[in-house]
Amino acid sequence: MIWEQRVHVIVMITNLVERGRRKCDMYWPKEGTATYGQIDVTLVKEEVRANYTLRQMRVKHRKLKKKKWICSEREVNQFHYTGWPDHGTPEATLPVLSFIRKSVASNPEDGGPIIVHCSAGVGRTGTYIVIDAMMKQAAAKNEMNIFGFLKHIRSQRNHLVQTEEQYIFLHDALVEFLASGDTEVALEDISDHILSLAQPVSDFEPMTRLEKQYSNVVTFSPSEYDIIAARKSYNETKNRAHDLVPIEIAKVGLTPKPCIEGSDYINASWLQGYEKLKEFIVTQHPSTETRDAFWSMLWDHNAQTVVLLSPVDNQELNVFWPGHNEEYDQECFRVRFIEEQIHEGHSTLDFVVSSRYDDYELKVRMIRCAGWPHSSSPLYKVLDVVNLVQEWHLEYQNGPLVVVDRFGGTEAATFCALTTLKKQIDAENRVDVYQVCKLYHNKRPGIWRSQDDYLYIYRVLESLAGCIEGETANCLISDTENLIERRHSRL
């Protein structure tokens, strides 16, 4: 079918196994080449991202002889969405909208239809098709007929959009599409995009595009149910800031201790990165009360890299690690200091966390960068720490990257956002600041204090773009730094 219909794009919205049941056969080679009847399929490359995996394959018909007017092989891209549960919906709409845009855009003009499938080919498949069709209808006619279109395609295949939850989700996705539009920007266009953010939304809407984007970013306001654990009386004192606490769906859990209420709680949240849904843990500077919980979190989640952005003042922000010739003993493990190294702009502290019951050890490196990002000047220097941490953390991909600031707030979120966006630049030469910032707010409301925090990320990336394009020569010419500042002053 793929060969005969001239297919270049496959959209797969299921995992091979879900809820313990086999949902789909692996119809592509894990590596190398596999033969299916008269078709040879070669896996060229595979790129794993937080919400989906992209596989590039080469499909060749074995029986066709090479002739000038006949092509015997073709490239096929498979977009495999991995974060969409069976009979359910994803947590967020933005990654789905981005996934649909990218998969549709990869189909060449002379390509055949896009193949879309899930497990039964109705629920998630139909949701994808309706969202794509309605985005195109809105662009072409400035209107949407969701009910009419779904009723029509259900006459072609029964049960498309299988549940009420999926029907609601596609409406939510289209509301987000209408509110935000396409927010992904090519790196070379980022300066123009920043200038456009200062413009009014329309002649009838005086607020600027920046104000509207930021308003959309921080729309979500958690209910008491969303933060029920953080508001328990026995957990209240563990929170440095009343308005920066983890919501239930993103809460980092600890192994509970028998008969101790709140022993499974720490003020820490999961944030997604470019490659993993749980790539970062953002948390506050541990207090005397929460120090043991912090080390338990590293132990429970196999976290081997900690980025400490808060200073130590020995008053409110204490040292929470053992010093020379010291150990922290806990019920299941002990923490031992190894060494400290001082570098320009940062220092590293190495520890070993060892089990009290067997030979297992967890090596932990803490990278201290107090005052980041404001201690970095000019702006492109902000990314030096991001790159430094990634170079070290690449050796320890199994565990999350733990990022700490005073409250588990803006500085930590900025670090995670720039890490994610830098990876997107390296892979795609594009960035989606809006998507990353909104996803982070939805997982930890309150991390962005003002639209200046949001704009700051754009400005750092603009500075990076200037370096890449050679606008700043060797990034040390003061005239160009002044040029960057003049651009921002126009905002």
Please list the active-site residues. 118
Return all residues near 243 (Cβ < 8 A) that are at least 6 apart. 446
- Residue 299, token pair as written in the block: 């132990």
Helix (H) or strand (E) holding 57: strand 52-61
User: Taking the CA atoms of the chain, what radius of gyration do you get in angstroms?
Assistant: 25
**Nearest Cα to Cα of residue 346 among 393, 403, 293, 384:** 384
The amino acid that residue 339 corresponds to is E
d(CA 386, CA 306): 12
From CA 146, how far away is CA 176, in angstroms rounded? 15
Asked if 28 contacts 57 with a C-beta cutoff of 8 angstroms, the reply is: yes
The angle subtended at Cα 459 by Cα 395 and Cα 488, nearest 5°, is 165
Contact 57, 75 (CB under 8 A): yes
Phi/psi at 97 (5° precision) = -60, -45
Which has the closest alpha carbon to 187: 451, 445, 424? Answer: 424
Q: Which helix (H) or strand (E) holds 200?
A: strand 200-202
The one-letter amino acid at 73 = E
Q: Which of 368, 363, 380, 434 is nearest to 405 (CA)?
A: 368
Rounded Cα distance between 168 and 161, Å, is 10
What tokens were used for 298? Answer: 């590293």
CA proximity to 366, closest of 466, 298, 280: 298
Is 149 in contact with 134 (CB distance < 8 Å)? yes
DSSP state of 184: -
- Cα–Cα distance measured from residue 419 to residue 388, given in angstroms and rounded to the nearest whole number: 11
* CA gap 211, 417 in Å, rounded: 19
Contact of 457 with 421, CB cutoff 8 Å: yes
8 Å CB contact between 14 and 119: yes
Give the span between the Cα atoms of 42 and 40, in whole angstroms: 7
Three-class SS state of 411: helix
Q: Are 213 and 234 in contact (CB under 8 A)?
A: no
Strands 280-284 and 115-117: unpaired
